[in-house]
Chain A
């Protein structure tokens, strides 16, 4: 059992995890792809060759060439610039939605897991109801209520990720709560808040980090899916799903419109999954294989 307090363990843990992970080539590849994408997304306004909404009718449906590496879309807009700029939307939706969802979900899960009894029962039965609705359907209904748009999509997706996170942290808490160091903390009169935040949470956090990483990947796909059916981010914003949705009607005449936004999603999700796998192996060697 860990003897140090959560805080100290966490700090020592980070370097140890990074050292462990640096041996894992796949995870490092994922980290490399992801950080490159994030840097490109941040720098996008300065490095894209054309403005993402610049229409050049002469180049309508232009196929990939030297001046337009990914070609041009139905309005002559440079797809390379749009995909690069779209990374800002797609990746930020994933990260922000999961961050919000995790914070709320962990709070709910911690309350349920620590207090148990009636509180736990009430929360879990409510989550049972939410989880009886297939995920995508729930997302569609929530987006219908909130209306389309960038921020509303983030809110919808974060609401959607709450129940999974809550359930997971609760299960961790129930396991961790039985340990002797919790009994020790209780016997020296630690407040409940302190026991949860500085004793229980740090010891439950590793699986949560892994599932948050995977969650970002899933959320990016879901956001693109919502935009694809017209309920998420709306055109002309170059979110990848919205781009695919617009490209769909030209699939016969200009298939290259479909290739690149989808490839961007796939590469990002792949990188996040590699990273998630690596983190899991590094954080919890027991889970390996």
Chain B
């Protein structure tokens, strides 16, 4: 098991290197000259040239890439923002927790509502409860997050004035700033979680061991919770993994709407001001976060299913994980 985790962690290194190289190369093809944006329209030719020299923009791309990679992966220094000269690593340290907080709250809402909805739909298959849950799921998939965000702000901030529409707070009171953003981000994931739970439950519920459990007098509640749901968790966890990626990306737009100073607003702002080091550093950090999450998903498989755990231990995990995906 430990060996497997180590192997996965080592495998993350080339992935993160690849992401760094890919984003670096893409950013160099960006239209617009960073030095003009930094210095503003009033800058003279000489000032522009001096800035280019300072940022090393005149060097060949291979040299710049090499320098960036050695800064990041040998000295662990993401550099400074071109525009504000603030250290990027410390900015990310401050902002990443907010994005994570938003993403995890979103995930908790999706799972916390999605799984019960799916279970209800499955045990009441083809009854009105089933149809209701599935209609809700369809609507959840269809509603664009940013539109729902606007509607929620309209209702709960502008009209009812219950929850704040913008910004972040401190301490425990800060939680209420995440409620609307997390709800608006969660609908799509909630819906796919409900649908996946329903279909996984329906697969399991007809299995012989469920009949056995019922016939030996296990209470229906335990049959559903302990036997059926537990055995349908694998596909649900798979969906959760992909959902996390969606939420992490979706958080970027949600953050813009609610003016949360997280990774999304940071990167989008940097994209608009051609602040390349921020976009590169931010992407590297989000990629690492995402890869860690995928690792956690794979470890959850092992936690839920002893058969997979045995495979991890014997090193034959690859085939099984692929078969599940």
Identify the A interface with B (CB < 8 A): 125-126, 128-130, 132-142, 144-145, 147, 171, 217, 221, 224-225, 228-231, 241, 244, 247-248, 251-252, 255, 258, 261-262, 265-267, 269-270, 273-274, 289
Q: Contacts A141-B27, A145-B29, A274-B138 given; indicate if A132 touches B146 (C-beta within 8 A).
A: no
B271 contacts A141, C-beta separation under 8 Å: yes
**A128 vs B22: C-alpha distance in the bound complex, in angstroms?**
12
**A209 vs B27: C-alpha distance in the bound complex, in angstroms?**
34
B154 contacts A262, C-beta separation under 8 Å: no
A141 contacts B290, C-beta separation under 8 Å: no
Taking a contact as CB atoms closer than 8 A, the residue among B145, B257, B272, B287 that contacts A132 in the complex is B287
Q: Nearest CB to that of B245 among chain A residues? A: A134
Chain A positions within 8 Å of B199 at CB level: 289
Q: Nearest CB to that of B293 among chain A residues? A: A134
B23 within 8 Å of A (CB atoms)? yes
Identify the stretch in B105-113, B222-230, B248-256 within 8 Å (CB) of chain A at 4 or more residues. B248-256
In whole Å, how far is A248's beta carbon from the nearest beta carbon of chain B? Answer: 6
B203 within 8 Å of A (CB atoms)? yes
**A267 vs B14: C-alpha distance in the bound complex, in angstroms?**
42
**A255 vs B138: C-alpha distance in the bound complex, in angstroms?**
25
> Residue among A141, A144, A147, A228 with the most chain B CB within 10 A?
A144
Contact with A along B115-156 (1 / 0, CB 8 A): 000000000000000000000001101111111001101100
B268 within 8 Å of A (CB atoms)? yes
A132 contacts B15, C-beta separation under 8 Å: yes
Taking a contact as CB atoms closer than 8 A, the residue among A134, A136, A141, A231 that contacts B26 in the complex is A141
A269 contacts B154, C-beta separation under 8 Å: no
Taking a contact as CB atoms closer than 8 A, the residue among B139, B158, B249 that contacts A136 in the complex is B249
Main secondary structure of the interface of A (DSSP, over half): helix
Taking a contact as CB atoms closer than 8 A, the residue among A139, A244, A258, A270 that contacts B139 in the complex is A270
New contact pairs (14) apart from A133-B286, A136-B248, CB-CB < 8 Å: A126-B18, A134-B248, A137-B267, A140-B252, A141-B283, A144-B272, A145-B30, A145-B31, A147-B31, A221-B144, A225-B146, A251-B150, A258-B150, A289-B203
**A223 vs B158: C-alpha distance in the bound complex, in angstroms?**
27
Chain B positions within 8 Å of A171 at CB level: 322, 325
Taking a contact as CB atoms closer than 8 A, the residue among A139, A225, A248 that contacts B150 in the complex is A248
Report 9 cross-chain contacts, Cβ distance below 8 Å, ordered by A residue. Answer: A128-B18, A133-B283, A171-B325, A217-B141, A224-B144, A251-B154, A266-B139, A266-B147, A273-B142
Chain A positions within 8 Å of B158 at CB level: 251-252, 255
> Residue among A134, A147, A244 with the most chain B CB within 10 A?
A134
A229 contacts B249, C-beta separation under 8 Å: no
Q: Contacts A142-B26, A262-B151, A270-B142 given; indicate if A134 touches B249 (C-beta within 8 A).
A: yes
Q: Mark out the residues of chain B between 19 and 53 whose CB falls within 8 Å of any chain A CB in the assembled complex.
A: 19, 22-23, 26-27, 29-31
In whole Å, how far is A244's beta carbon from the nearest beta carbon of chain B? Answer: 6
Interface size class of B (residues with CB under 8 A): 35 or more
Contact with A along B275-318 (1 / 0, CB 8 A): 00001000100110011000000000000000000000000000
**A159 vs B120: C-alpha distance in the bound complex, in angstroms?**
39
Q: Nearest CB to that of A248 among chain B residues? A: B150
Taking a contact as CB atoms closer than 8 A, the residue among A137, A217, A258, A266 that contacts B252 in the complex is A137
By Cβ-Cβ distance, the 10 closest A-B pairs, closest first, are A136-B249, A262-B147, A129-B18, A134-B249, A270-B142, A269-B142, A144-B271, A134-B248, A132-B287, A266-B142
Q: Contacts A145-B29, A229-B253, A267-B142 given; indicate if A134 touches B290 (C-beta within 8 A).
A: yes
Q: Contacts A265-B144, A266-B142, A266-B147 given; indicate if A132 touches B30 (C-beta within 8 A).
A: no
In whole Å, how far is B180's beta carbon from the nearest beta carbon of chain A? Answer: 13
Q: Nearest CB to that of A247 among chain B residues? A: B150
Chain B positions within 8 Å of A267 at CB level: 142
In whole Å, how far is B274's beta carbon from the nearest beta carbon of chain A? Answer: 8
> Residue among A137, A229, A231, A255 with the most chain B CB within 10 A?
A137
**A126 vs B21: C-alpha distance in the bound complex, in angstroms?**
12
Chain B positions within 8 Å of A244 at CB level: 146-147, 150
In whole Å, how far is A125's beta carbon from the nearest beta carbon of chain B? Answer: 8
A229 contacts B256, C-beta separation under 8 Å: yes
A135 contacts B249, C-beta separation under 8 Å: yes
Q: Nearest CB to that of B248 among chain A residues? A: A134
**A228 vs B148: C-alpha distance in the bound complex, in angstroms?**
13
Chain A positions within 8 Å of B151 at CB level: 258, 262
B233 within 8 Å of A (CB atoms)? no
Q: Nearest CB to that of B31 among chain A residues? A: A147
In whole Å, how far is B92's beta carbon from the nearest beta carbon of chain A? Answer: 14
Chain A positions within 8 Å of B279 at CB level: 141, 144
B142 contacts A130, C-beta separation under 8 Å: no
Q: Contacts A134-B249, A137-B252 given; indicate if A231 touches B146 (C-beta within 8 A).
A: no
**A252 vs B154: C-alpha distance in the bound complex, in angstroms?**
7
Contact with A along B149-170 (1 / 0, CB 8 A): 0110110001000000000000
Chain B positions within 8 Å of A274 at CB level: 138
**A264 vs B271: C-alpha distance in the bound complex, in angstroms?**
29
**A166 vs B278: C-alpha distance in the bound complex, in angstroms?**
30
B234 within 8 Å of A (CB atoms)? no
In whole Å, how far is A190's beta carbon from the nearest beta carbon of chain B? Answer: 28
B95 within 8 Å of A (CB atoms)? no
**A273 vs B137: C-alpha distance in the bound complex, in angstroms?**
11
A269 contacts B141, C-beta separation under 8 Å: yes
**A137 vs B325: C-alpha distance in the bound complex, in angstroms?**
23
B80 within 8 Å of A (CB atoms)? no
Taking a contact as CB atoms closer than 8 A, the residue among B27, B142, B202, B245 that contacts A145 in the complex is B27
Chain B positions within 8 Å of A128 at CB level: 15, 18
B64 within 8 Å of A (CB atoms)? no
